[in-house]
Structure 1
C-alpha cells in the first residue's frame, strides 16, 4: 500500500511541476492581486505550501524505509 501512495505522491509532484511552469505562471501576469501581493507571489506561496504538505505526506509513506534501528 505504501508503494502505491508513494507513486501517487511522485505523480502529483510532476503534475504540479507541469501546471506551475506551463499553466499557472504565464509570462507578464500580475493580476489579480491578493492582499497587496501580485499573482505570481501569492501563487508561488500556495504552490510551495502544497509541495511542503505533499513532501511530508510522501515521507510518512516512503516504501523503502529501513525500520531496523540500532
Structure 2
C-alpha cells in the first residue's frame, strides 16, 4: 500500500509539471469582436501561423494595434 501512495504522488508531480510546461508555450491573443483587440483568447508562440477562432476569425498579439501574428495553440 505505501508503494501505491508513493507512485501516485510521483505521477501527480509529473502531471503537474507537464501542465505547467504546456501553459508556458501559450500566449494571449486578441480578437476584434466589437472593437479592436477587445476579446482575449489562448494562442501559441510556435506552430502553424494563424491563431484562428472558429466563427470569429484570426486573433493577434496586442502589439502594434493588434497586428502581431500568433500561432494555432498546440
Structure holding more strand per residue: 2
Q: TM-score, normalised by structure 1?
A: 0.36
Relative contact order, higher structure (CA 8 A, sep 6+): 1
Q: TM-score, normalised by structure 2?
A: 0.34
